[in-house]
Homo-oligomer: A and B are copies of this chain.
């Protein structure tokens, strides 16, 4: 009932059992889990790893793990991605923290969810080192996920959709150089709806963030002008 009494008791027990070392009260641990997206072949894909240990062994989940003392949450997320998929350069953004004690039946772990974006070239270089398997799934065809990771996935996709509308976040899903058609296809893929080409071009141009590059992409038909984002740091834009 009285919290002060509980704290006091905990301190006493700690002192008795600790002797030289002060025993800490058990507390929930902190983990990070990253929902990593990439566009490949006009499909939105998501990186999953197959768990090897614990009650959820064999199930698929987002790469992540416990945070260490002395590192920031972002650092922990990047470290886990490097370990799990050999990924280095990518965009990371914190989403939300999930603290339901029952989300992991094994232990009380608070998970800080992250949204990660990488371009197709970076995604291709991914390879699982830490897990039994790691591969890219189409978001519409993901297997059942461990823990509450399907909830985290929902958050991530919603955030991505929403930020496409009012930021330049798309630059993190594209190669440094791209055509307008590629940019439009990215938007259509993520937002799951077709876009009017002329209106889309006008909106994007109004942002003033694209710079036109000298060359052309030559393909089977009329060559397309090349573009790049002027700034790759995310910034808010008045669009939508």
Using a CB–CB distance below 8 Å, which chain A residues touch chain B? 1-3, 5-6, 8-13, 16-17, 23-30, 66-74, 76, 83, 94, 96-97, 99-101, 108, 110, 112
Contacts and interface: CB of A to CB of B under 8 A. Distances in A.
A23 B30 contact: no
23 contacts: A1-B6, A1-B9, A5-B9, A6-B6, A6-B9, A9-B9, A9-B25, A9-B26, A12-B23, A13-B13, A26-B69, A27-B27, A27-B30, A28-B30, A30-B30, A67-B110, A69-B108, A70-B101, A70-B108, A73-B97, A74-B99, A97-B112, A99-B112
A66 B27 contact: yes
Stoichiometry, copies per complex: 2
Nearest to A24: B26
A69 B5 contact: no
B10 A9 contact: yes
A108 B73 CA distance: 11
A6 B12 contact: no
Chain A at the B interface: mostly helix, strand, loop or mixed? mixed
A99 B77 CA distance: 12
Contacts of A27: 27, 29-30, 66-69
Contacts of A30: 27-30, 99, 110
A10, A66, A70 interface centre (most CB from chain B within 10 Å): A10
Contact of A101 (B1, B16, B72): B72
A1 B12 contact: no
